[in-house]
Amino acid sequence: MSEPIRTSQAPDPVGAYPHARRHGDLLFLSGVGPRQAGTDEIPGGPIRDAEGQPQNYDIRAQTEAVIANVRAVLAACGAGLEDVLDVTAFLVDMERDFAGYNEVYARHFESIQAARTTLAICGLPTPIAVEFKVVAKAPPLAHD
């Protein structure tokens, strides 16, 4: 059994996909960025302006917002951050941003000890610096 999950508590996807998908005992979250639900505002500021010019942004604020959005999607699935098993993190500027991202990540995940991979990429579909792809344990299904 596999079911798509959507929530108004997280920013709208920028494509034809759900926030998450449950398959058996696992939750597969689509890429989660820092945009805010309802406004698409980017905490810490965008990495570039509307003309494509680089902007100064705060990776710590963006990472906090990503984790808050991960929490919102997990809550819609009946799960929590403690259920996260694996995180793949994407950074558009590894050299500039790794230390700040890693600091925020550690505050939330050190006790959880999820597996993690961090990749440097050339860009994301919106002007953000960080995005997470998450796999988590799904809560038991309620039986009628």
> pLDDT of the chain along its 144 residues, tens only?
578 999 999 999 999 999 999 999 999 999 999 999 999 999 999 999 999 999 999 999 999 999 999 999 999 999 999 999 999 999 999 999 999 999 999 999 999 999 999 999 999 999 999 999 999 999 988 764
Written out in words, the top-level CATH class of the domain with range 2-137 is: alpha beta
- Which residues sit opposite 27 in a β-bridge? 22, 136
* pLDDT for res 141: 81
